[in-house]
Amino acid sequence: MTGFKNFILKGNVIELAVAVVIATSFGAVIKATVALLLGLVGKLGDQPDFSDWKPYGLLFGVWVTAVVSFLILAAVVYFVVVLPYTKAKERFFPSDAPGAPADVQLLEEIRDLLAAQQGRPPTA
């Protein structure tokens, strides 16, 4: 029973559950946005759903609807999620200055100090 309690309290179970719930609801929002935009695209051709379009008896309409839906979905996810997340991440968590990480610099300083103690010139 202790192992289960530790799993629930120390693991990321709560965060994972919240993420699943949020992702599910956000999926519905994205799906509705894609349907809205697909309807707007369809209005340009007087047909909101291309699924019934069958030139030469082939189901090109299903493919066109799937491609347009995918492009709209990708654009919505990029402009609504990825772009704002990237900008917020850069603003609140700026990347480190270019150059060697702090731990590498510390190790180089230790190496140089040891070399100086032994009478050797530090290496670059």
Q: What is the pLDDT of residue 48?
A: 60
Per-residue pLDDT of the chain (124 residues; tens, 9 = 90+): 777 777 766 667 667 777 888 888 788 888 888 778 877 877 776 766 677 778 888 878 788 878 888 888 888 888 888 888 888 888 887 776 676 677 888 888 898 898 888 877 766 6
Q: What is the pLDDT of residue 102?
A: 77
Q: What is the pLDDT of residue 47?
A: 65
CATH number of 2-93: 1.10.1200.120
Closest CA to 76 of 37, 21, 22: 37
Core vs surface per residue 26-62: b (16+ CB within 10 A) or e: eeeebeebbeebbeebeeeeeeeebeebeeeeeeebe
Q: What is the pLDDT of residue 74?
A: 83
The residues, any chain, with a CB within 8 Å of residue 19's CB and separated by 6 or more, are: none
